């Protein structure tokens, strides 16, 4: 379990001082000094901040757009921040649309760690060296990323396997970065109003939850086994076998897959594979994951898909999966259906039902924008409609009206867009909309099946019965509370954090000023009274206390002048 704690004004901040300064220096380097200064962070990390802030961003950096500078900063900040950017690129509900495309370019490109450390991890997890567990274990990894690296090995039974080994000390490094991120996020919410709207604290907390899953390889093993169960007996889908006895939260051992990467069209042609058939198998696989099972691969990029025979493909890397329940699927289908029927008001209603929002948008303006959105796509041939561009325009529309797509819907649309891109690479005439139509039509008809209708009526009846049971009791309890005069109303204030923080700083400086004044007066009395020990007939204690008070007073004046608040 990750142990993420809030950083106080003193203590843990200074424990992470080196990394904190590195992060601040990179933020200044890429032109985010104005944000750092508005965080009032100098009260937490005083030493060296002026030196860092004196650095100006390079001229080439100043020419980049803000999303580009964010991506470049995250790349330089290292693995934890790269992972954060990759997560945000899949969360249209957390960040503005203009950042999503840029953050999607982030790549994990980390050098491998030494094999000596691999041996130490094996000894820690299994109490044995790789050479004792495997017939052969390649010391040089064939793939390396920010979380871990992958080695090729052979079991004593003769099976070829891929062994994923987590980076040593990674959990501690990520915990430090997450604590600093959480502290910065709290300062953003308390000091910068426009950032508070994007809820940076929630972003860091959500990121911590996702990273915690990625750091536990048994979670990926469970995903693989669930996925394999869903497609058990299907000859067109192959899922690598996982070896439980050689898997822990830091080591994952699975069957090695040596197929052809799906984007390598020249290799597929040389092998004599029918590319159109492969496209049909691949797209149907994702559509079945979404519409039949509600559990789908959230990152189906070309590197994660292998063609292993003329009629079968294999998906890899099950660390990030998406889930979508039948209610969200039904709402999504209703949205598509209303768009096809060119029903602007109904489309706007379903969009409101499907998205998250804090204040009700202008319905008329939303309907107008929806009508323009549909006009861009409905008068084109279906095969010319690109899911990727449609998604981008949909995100721009929802963002304009302060609506946020739920993460599971966005992940689904992004996965569909990724698969569509791969499909068009293999088959330029591929029509994703036509391929998805039977699945959408079946989902639309599914809700009218007697069994489904009976389930919905039963669930509704159960909820209604529970309400009828509970409501009178709760009403009586409320009446009793009022009768006993125990009813109290609590108010919660928002946006006062900055005011409270300023008040604390003022109080601290006033306290120091009072202490300085008291020390000066006290030391003067001691000197006048000539309390021994004496130095040149002057009280030595009085001199020491007086000098200390003067130094504290000068420091306080420098602080006030430096802040420009005198």
Identify the CA nearest to 243 among candidates 118, 153, 124, 114: 153
Q: Transcribe 395-447 into DSSP letters.
A: HHHHHHTT-B--HHHHHHHHHHHHHHHHHHHH-TT--HHHHHHHHHHHHHHHT
Q: Which residues contact 483 (CB under 8 A, 6 or more apart)?
A: none
Question: If 0-12 CB within 10 Å is exposed, 13-18 middle and 19+ buried, where does residue 351 land?
Answer: buried
For 73, the token pair is 């900063």
**Residue 498 and residue 305: Cα distance in Å, rounded?**
49
Q: Count Cβ atoms below 10 Å from residue 437 Cβ, excluding itself.
A: 14
The answer to whether 390 and 363 are in contact (CB under 8 A) is: no
Residue 305 β-bridge partners: 315
Backbone φ and ψ of 90, nearest 5°: -110, 10
Residue 321 β-bridge partners: 297
Active site residue 299: yes
Ordered alpha helix ranges (H), 31-158? 33-38, 49-53, 59-62, 66-77, 79-88, 97-103, 115-126, 130-133
Given the residues 93, 299, 334, 344, select the one marked as catalytic: 299
SS3 of residue 356 by DSSP:
strand
Active-site residue set = 299
């Amino acid at each position: 379990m990750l142990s993420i704690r809030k950083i106080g004004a003193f203590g843990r901040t200074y424990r992470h001082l080196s990394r904190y300064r590195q992060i601040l220096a990179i933020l200044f380097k890429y032109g985010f000094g104005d944000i750092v200064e508005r965080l009032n962070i100098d009260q937490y990390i005083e030493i060296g901040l002026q030196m860092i802030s004196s650095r100006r961003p390079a001229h080439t950096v100043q020419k980049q757009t803000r999303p580009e500078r964010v991506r470049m900063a995250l790349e330089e900040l290292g693995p934890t921040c790269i992972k954060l950017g990759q997560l945000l690129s899949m969360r249209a509900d957390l960040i503005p649309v203009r950042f999503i495309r840029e953050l999607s370019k982030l790549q994990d490109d980390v050098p491998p760690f030494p094999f000596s450390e691999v041996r130490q991890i094996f000894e820690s997890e299994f109490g044995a060296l790789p050479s004792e567990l495997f017939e052969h274990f390649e010391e040089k990894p064939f793939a390396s990323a920010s979380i871990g690296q992958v080695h090729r090995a052979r079991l004593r039974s003769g099976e070829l396997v891929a062994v994923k080994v987590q980076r040593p000390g990674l959990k501690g490094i990520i915990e430090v970065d997450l604590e600093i991120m959480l502290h910065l996020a709290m300062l953003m919410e308390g000091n910068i109003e426009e950032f508070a709207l994007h809820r940076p604290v929630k972003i860091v907390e959500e990121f911590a939850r996702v990273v915690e899953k990625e750091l536990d390889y048994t979670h990926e093993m469970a995903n693989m086994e669930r996925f394999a169960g869903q497609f058990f007996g299907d000859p067109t889908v192959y899922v690598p076998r996982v070896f439980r006895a050689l898997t822990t939260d830091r080591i994952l051992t699975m069957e090695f897959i040596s197929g052809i990467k799906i984007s390598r069209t020249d290799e597929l042609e040389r092998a004599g594979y029918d590319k159109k058939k492969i496209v049909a198998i691949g797209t149907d696989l994702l559509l079945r994951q979404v519409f039949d099972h509600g559990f789908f691969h959230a990152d189906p990029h070309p590197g994660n898909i292998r063609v292993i025979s003329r009629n079968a493909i294999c998906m890899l890397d099950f660390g990030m999966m998406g889930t979508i329940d039948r209610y969200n699927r039904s709402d999504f289908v209703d949205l598509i259906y209303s768009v096809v029927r060119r029903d602007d008001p109904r489309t706007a209603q379903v969009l409101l039902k499907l998205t998250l929002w804090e204040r009700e948008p202008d319905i008329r303006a939303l309907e107008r924008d929806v009508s323009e959105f549909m006009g861009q796509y409905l008068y084109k041939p279906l095969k010319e409609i690109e899911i990727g561009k449609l998604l981008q325009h949909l995100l721009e529309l929802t963002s304009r009206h302060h609506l946020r797509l739920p993460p599971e819907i966005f992940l689904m649309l992004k996965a569909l867009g990724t698969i569509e891109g791969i499909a068009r690479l293999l088959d330029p005439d591929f029509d994703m909309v036509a391929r998805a139509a039977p699945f959408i039509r079946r989902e639309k008809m599914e809700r009218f099946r007697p069994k489904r209708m009976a389930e919905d009526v039963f669930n509704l009846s159960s909820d209604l019965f529970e309400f009828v049971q509970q409501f009178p009791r709760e009403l009586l309890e409320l009446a009793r509370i009022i009768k006993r005069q125990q009813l109290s109303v609590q108010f919660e204030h928002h946006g006062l954090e900055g005011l409270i923080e300023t008040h604390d700083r003022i109080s601290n400086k006033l306290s120091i000023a009072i202490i300085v004044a008291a020390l000066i007066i006290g030391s003067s009395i001691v000197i006048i009274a000539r309390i021994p020990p004496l130095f040149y007939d002057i009280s030595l204690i009085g001199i020491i206390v007086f000098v200390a008070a003067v130094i504290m007073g000068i420091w306080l004046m420098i602080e006030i002048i430096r802040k420009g608040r005198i």
